[in-house]
Chain A
């Protein structure tokens, strides 16, 4: 893009509209070569989320690198080492908003050695943008990105076929890539919401503004797609799960006998007067109140942070889970988990780790590596007893205390866990319960 003055338009946020906006978290996977940084820069620039001092800095940097082009990729520059090496090392979070939605982007590097970053960025995302360079078509990297998005349970995939300008916006190129990708997704995740958009991040075609170069494409632009993807059903509102986070006992005159169980509802809906069961004690009681600082609620749902009080005085502490008698999670010490390994110190069979699941922390013993996945061909490799950094594998483990679990595909909160090294205390693995 030729350097030009930024459009100094007011973004037009009235407070009323602002109080009614939704949040969409999405992740972007792709390498510098795919134009990922340019695409994010384009989204931020065309949605007028870039401020003048940031733009001035990018203009200066663009000139330093030669040419009168405004290098939008520089808008996403991060740490000094990244600037020097022109790479992304870590997940970077970026923010922009339109009058409809606020967006959180988890910007992750796409190379194979950064699988752990992609998994991290994908863990909280509602949507994933996967970039394909139109000149290269669907590659192993595309398979890897799509597979991880599927594995992490991201409900919406947006496949951006980029650099269409270099191929004269040829419809056939787009159609072929789409067919190739669908062949793959049919194998990996049927029933997902997958959309395809032909774009040029460099020139802005179909990113924020519809392109006149693609009359054959009748779908929405990327921004319109991001604004309209339905997100309300992304939270599990079916199975009520309330991991107890922290117990409040004011012991003040006014709240003498108050005992409140705080937490963020993991899934489902709870009502005042609901009959509930507390795990692991299995004591039953009734919800006396659902309290917040702003007053009691008649009902509360995921992902609200609330305080629950019960009609009966039972011993409950952090790590317990409040559920309903007719809809219980599985209580077990033996779990099968898809693990993404994140540490240079390998996972080994018979080793012990701390395991954090919801608000519960236990220890676990690695019993067996059932198979390791070749992430490019999706082949299962058996016979391994260790996992290296960025490996993805099905692992059997046994815990010291029971966990209250759901399959990750049904519940991204009660189906997920992390492993912590007992010696270094580092987070070394991410797990999705099968």
Chain B
């Protein structure tokens, strides 16, 4: 029977496709949360495979903090055009303008937390009942307890201590009016799985994932990109370095890696040798030991 055997990446792909189809079957108005990062790009690839030869039956939603890397936005627009997909943009700037949120101030000001409000407002506005996200359980300890189908109450909140048990592959997407689900098709993938899959499938990525020269500065052990809205502390200085992103969030919270990796093979070698977690470079997780858990409860990605 040895010929009837799937490699682990094939099995994870099959699982991801199954989850995508389950979303399309169980929900009326699903949406795919697209950040322009590698995980959400893999989601789009899985959605493409799940519904081929039909188009992806739901739109992509990008929550734009207004502090994005320009390369990410260009990539997003090109991808949407190529797939003939529908894109919806939720704007944090708009949430600020309308007074839904108040901009943080100070050196570590970030719109990362504000995104949650924009996300929940957009979900409510379009009456989305399922939001597909690229969260992985290996990323962070609060994510390790996340379900494939994760229930959110009418305030968009996650109650980690009272989650629905998830057995076999029988996903329960039943919900009350106003509630929604977050769905995580690549729950069981690790960072290395994602990179090896991108290599195997030859999936295009924004070029900020590859080495490039950029103006950066060093803060609390993390390299950050210089930008007009990034306020420097006394003693911090901007310098030019060869860097790349290991994860992509907005500019205020994306730590950059000093790297000369300019192919997927180089990146994989670099990740195999690295001894720091992917989110170790994420400024947003450094706020407290339970930073992710707290944000997730409120309705974060």
Residue numbers of A with Cβ under 8 A of B are 6, 8, 10-13, 15, 18-23, 51-54, 57, 77-81, 89-95, 97, 101-102, 104, 116-117, 119-120, 123-124, 232-233, 235, 237, 245-246, 248-250, 252, 254-255, 258, 260, 262-264, 269, 291-294, 301, 303-305, 307, 318, 342, 354, 356-357, 359, 412-413, 416-418, 420, 425-427, 430
Residue numbers in B under 8 Å from A263 (CB-CB): 21
- List which B119-176 residues lie within 8 A (CB) of chain A: 137-138, 141-142, 144-145, 160-161, 163-170, 172, 174-176
In the complex, 8 of the A-B residue pairs with CB atoms within 8 angstroms, ordered by the A residue number, are A15-B265, A51-B275, A92-B144, A93-B137, A237-B4, A248-B51, A264-B18, A342-B165
Cβ A90 vs Cβ B160 within 8 A: yes
Cβ A427 vs Cβ B167 within 8 A: yes
Cβ B14 vs Cβ A305 within 8 A: yes
Complex-state Cα separation, A387 to B278, whole angstroms:
45
Cβ B53 vs Cβ A79 within 8 A: no
A94 touching B144 in the complex, CB below 8 Å, given contacts A23-B8, A80-B290, A303-B6: yes
A262 touching B11 in the complex, CB below 8 Å, given contacts A10-B273, A90-B145, A93-B187: no
Complex-state Cα separation, A23 to B8, whole angstroms:
5
- List which B43-90 residues lie within 8 A (CB) of chain A: 48-55
Residue numbers in B under 8 Å from A80 (CB-CB): 289-290, 293
A417 touching B272 in the complex, CB below 8 Å, given contacts A19-B7, A246-B24, A304-B6: no
Complex-state Cα separation, A248 to B53, whole angstroms:
8
Residue numbers in B under 8 Å from A15 (CB-CB): 196, 199-200, 265, 268
Cβ B14 vs Cβ A232 within 8 A: no
- Given B12, B25, B54, B165, which contacts A120 in the complex, CB threshold below 8 Å? B165
In order of increasing CB-CB distance, the 7 nearest A-B pairs are A23-B8, A425-B174, A293-B49, A250-B54, A53-B280, A305-B17, A293-B52
User: How big is the B interface, by class?
Assistant: 35 or more
The answer to whether the Cβ of B262 comes within 8 Å of any Cβ in the partner chain is no
Residue numbers in A under 8 Å from B97 (CB-CB): none
B5-49 interface bits toward A, Cβ cutoff 8 Å, 1 = contact, 0 = none: 111111111110110011011000000000000000000000011
Complex-state Cα separation, A77 to B145, whole angstroms:
11
> Which residue of chain B is the closest to A357 with respect to CB atoms?
B170
Cβ A430 vs Cβ B167 within 8 A: yes
Residue numbers in A under 8 Å from B21 (CB-CB): 245-246, 262-263, 305
Cβ B145 vs Cβ A91 within 8 A: yes
Residue numbers in B under 8 Å from A93 (CB-CB): 137, 144-145, 187-188
- Given A77, A102, A123, which contacts B193 in the complex, CB threshold below 8 Å? A102
Residue numbers in B under 8 Å from A94 (CB-CB): 137-138, 144
> Which residue of chain A is the closest to B149 with respect to CB atoms?
A427
Residue numbers in A under 8 Å from B274 (CB-CB): 51
Cβ A356 vs Cβ B54 within 8 A: no
**4 other A-B residue contacts (CB within 8 Å) besides A22-B5, A254-B53, A307-B52:** A20-B7, A120-B167, A425-B174, A427-B167
B264-285 interface bits toward A, Cβ cutoff 8 Å, 1 = contact, 0 = none: 0100100011111100100000
> Which residue of chain B is the closest to A8 with respect to CB atoms?
B275
Cβ B9 vs Cβ A19 within 8 A: yes
Residue numbers in A under 8 Å from B170 (CB-CB): 356-357, 416-418
A21 touching B7 in the complex, CB below 8 Å, given contacts A6-B275, A51-B277: yes
Complex-state Cα separation, A353 to B252, whole angstroms:
49
Residue numbers in A under 8 Å from B22 (CB-CB): 245-246
Cβ B167 vs Cβ A232 within 8 A: no
Complex-state Cα separation, A42 to B2, whole angstroms:
32
Cβ B276 vs Cβ A233 within 8 A: no
Complex-state Cα separation, A124 to B147, whole angstroms:
13
- Given B12, B13, B49, B55, which contacts A250 in the complex, CB threshold below 8 Å? B55
Complex-state Cα separation, A89 to B44, whole angstroms:
33
- Given A18, A23, A51, A101, which contacts B280 in the complex, CB threshold below 8 Å? A51
- Given A123, A245, A258, A359, which contacts B167 in the complex, CB threshold below 8 Å? A123
A79 touching B161 in the complex, CB below 8 Å, given contacts A95-B190, A254-B53, A293-B48: yes
Cβ B53 vs Cβ A250 within 8 A: yes
- Given A13, A291, A301, A425, which contacts B172 in the complex, CB threshold below 8 Å? A425
- Given B51, B145, B161, B199, which contacts A92 in the complex, CB threshold below 8 Å? B145
Distance to closest chain B CB from A37 (angstroms): 13
Residue numbers in B under 8 Å from A264 (CB-CB): 14, 17-18, 169
Complex-state Cα separation, A112 to B74, whole angstroms:
54
- Given B168, B187, B192, which contacts A416 in the complex, CB threshold below 8 Å? B168
Give the residue among B21, B165, B199 with the most A Cβ atoms within 10 A. B165
Cβ B192 vs Cβ A97 within 8 A: yes
Residue numbers in B under 8 Å from A79 (CB-CB): 141-142, 145, 160-161, 290, 293
Residue numbers in B under 8 Å from A90 (CB-CB): 145, 160-161, 163
Cβ B168 vs Cβ A412 within 8 A: yes
Cβ A233 vs Cβ B1 within 8 A: yes
B250-265 interface bits toward A, Cβ cutoff 8 Å, 1 = contact, 0 = none: 0000000000000001
Complex-state Cα separation, A263 to B21, whole angstroms:
8
B175-198 interface bits toward A, Cβ cutoff 8 Å, 1 = contact, 0 = none: 110000000000110101100100
Complex-state Cα separation, A90 to B276, whole angstroms:
26
Complex-state Cα separation, A255 to B160, whole angstroms:
44
Distance to closest chain A CB from B147 (angstroms): 9
Residue numbers in A under 8 Å from B13 (CB-CB): 305
Cβ A427 vs Cβ B172 within 8 A: yes
> Which residue of chain A is the closest to B179 with respect to CB atoms?
A425
Cβ B172 vs Cβ A418 within 8 A: yes
Distance to closest chain B CB from A127 (angstroms): 15
Complex-state Cα separation, A359 to B168, whole angstroms:
12
Complex-state Cα separation, A13 to B4, whole angstroms:
24
Give the residue among B51, B168, B172, B277 with the most A Cβ atoms within 10 A. B168
Complex-state Cα separation, A318 to B293, whole angstroms:
36
Cβ A425 vs Cβ B8 within 8 A: no
Cβ B48 vs Cβ A78 within 8 A: no
Complex-state Cα separation, A426 to B10, whole angstroms:
32
- Given A246, A342, A413, which contacts B169 in the complex, CB threshold below 8 Å? A413
